[in-house]
């Protein structure tokens, strides 16, 4: 089977010949592993099953001051510490300026001009187009986290209007991206902390769920799979996400979600992507513990499909290189399945 065939079989809850996997790194950890292997191009040989396409515009990121990067929405990110994402350090929208704020153009063809070549090079790979910071995250980056959470309680009409404008922008990006020969759309939108939903279930259902459903259904109507990345303990939402049309959940953090119980409960309706501990095992475990964890993920969570094995996030720089190498080796070796 090709990697694409393995992912599609998994999303259809069928057993592939080998569990597909995808390994991503933060920039500092990528540098550490390049030094460990003595090969700056080591990541080209991982065997990842997924190819990602960005829907960010051509002027998506620019450095406007030392370590201050501005995205296409005008949001500025301080990357003096976190080189991959950064910390938001400005506000673009207030309650009084939602209608005046000018969104970047989702119809700009330059957003999608790299798609055909990347898709052509991704032979045998599962190709997905990504919309990061897709709804709640986009709202708080524009409005401010504290201000948005307060407004959910005190000014709900303000939040609804802001989210409607974000939804309109996203639906246009979905429409354009899905005209290409992609397999899936992936949305990034962290709703959780380590203890539960940031905004609580009631407000998630009021503000987030209806718009999530609309985005997911827009993707499904175009014959593509739907994937979500949402950090934290958000497993209480799985029945509703399935109802909304979700196919695959990431990052599947084992520190806050019981990956085995969750696979048993929801594995017939939902697939999972992630599940290997970046908070405990990769930084603090032994090589033997890493190999055992990967083996159990492949054999138990990967049984009957429904799984893309992966670290539960881009690997942070505190992971031990020898542990990361052991994980890569175990994933490449895989758990072959004998067809029945």
**pLDDT attached to residue 191:** 98
Q: Is the pLDDT of residue 340 over 90?
A: no
- SS3 of residue 129 by DSSP: strand
181-196 pLDDT per residue, tens: 999 999 999 999 999 9
Q: Is the pLDDT at 276 greater than 50, yes or no? A: yes
- pLDDT confidence of residue 225: 98
pLDDT of residue 154: 98
Q: Is 187 left (phi over 0), alpha (psi -120 to 50) or beta?
A: beta
The pLDDT of residue 336: 64
What pLDDT was estimated at residue 339? 42
DSSP per position, 188-252: E---B-SSSBSSHHHHIIIIIHHHHHHHHHHHHHTT-EEEEE--SS-GGGHHHHHHHT--EEE--
Q: Which two tokens stand for residue 294?
A: 């990967």
Q: What is the pLDDT of residue 272?
A: 98
- Express each pLDDT in 78-92 by its tens digit: 999 998 999 999 999
Can you give the residue ranges of every domain in the chain? 3-333
| pLDDT for 57 | 85
- Per-residue model confidence as pLDDT tens digits over 207-233: 999 999 999 999 999 999 999 999 999
**Average pLDDT value for residue range 119-135:** 97
What is the residue-averaged pLDDT of the chain? 96
DSSP-derived 3-state class of residue 186:
strand
Cα atoms in the Cβ-side hemisphere of radius 13 Å centred on 167 = 18
> Domain 3-333 adopts which CATH fold?
TIM Barrel (3.20.20)
pLDDT at 111 over 80: yes
């Amino acid at each position: 089977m090709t990697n694409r065939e393995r992912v599609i079989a998994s999303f259809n809850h069928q057993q592939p010949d080998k569990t597909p996997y995808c390994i991503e790194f933060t920039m500092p950890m990528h540098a550490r592993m390049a030094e460990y292997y003595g090969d700056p191009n080591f990541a080209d040989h991982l065997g990842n099953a997924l190819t990602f396409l960005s829907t960010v515009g051509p002027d998506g990121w620019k450095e406007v001051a030392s370590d201050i990067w501005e995205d296409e929405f005008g949001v500025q990110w301080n990357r003096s510490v976190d080189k991959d994402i950064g910390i938001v350090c400005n506000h673009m929208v207030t309650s009084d300026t939602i209608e005046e704020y000018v969104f970047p153009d989702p119809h700009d063809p330059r957003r999608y001009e790299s798609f055909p070549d990347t898709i052509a090079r991704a032979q045998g790979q599962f190709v997905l187009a990504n919309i990061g910071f897709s709804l709640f995250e986009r709202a708080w980056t524009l409005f401010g986290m504290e201000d948005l959470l307060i407004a959910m309680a005190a000014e709900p009409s303000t939040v609804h209007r802001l989210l409607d404008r974000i939804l309109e922008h996203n639906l246009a990006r979905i429409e354009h991206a899905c005209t290409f020969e992609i397999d899936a759309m992936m949305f990034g939108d962290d709703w959780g902390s380590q203890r539960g939903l940031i905004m609580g279930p009631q407000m998630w259902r009021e503000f987030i769920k209806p718009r999530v459903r609309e985005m997911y259904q827009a993707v499904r109507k175009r014959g593509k799979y739907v994937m979500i990345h949402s950090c934290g303990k958000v497993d209480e939402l799985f029945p509703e996400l399935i109802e909304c049309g979700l196919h695959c959940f990431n990052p599947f953090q084992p520190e806050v979600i019981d990956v085995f119980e969750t696979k048993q409960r929801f594995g017939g309706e939902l697939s999972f992507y992630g599940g290997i501990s970046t908070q405990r095992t990769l930084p603090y475990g032994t090589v033997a513990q890493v190999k055992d964890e990967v083996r159990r993920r492949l054999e138990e969570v990967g049984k009957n499909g429904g799984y893309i094995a992966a670290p539960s996030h881009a690997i942070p720089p505190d992971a031990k290189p020898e542990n990361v190498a052991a994980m890569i080796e175990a994933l490449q070796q895989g758990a072959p399945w004998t067809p029945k």
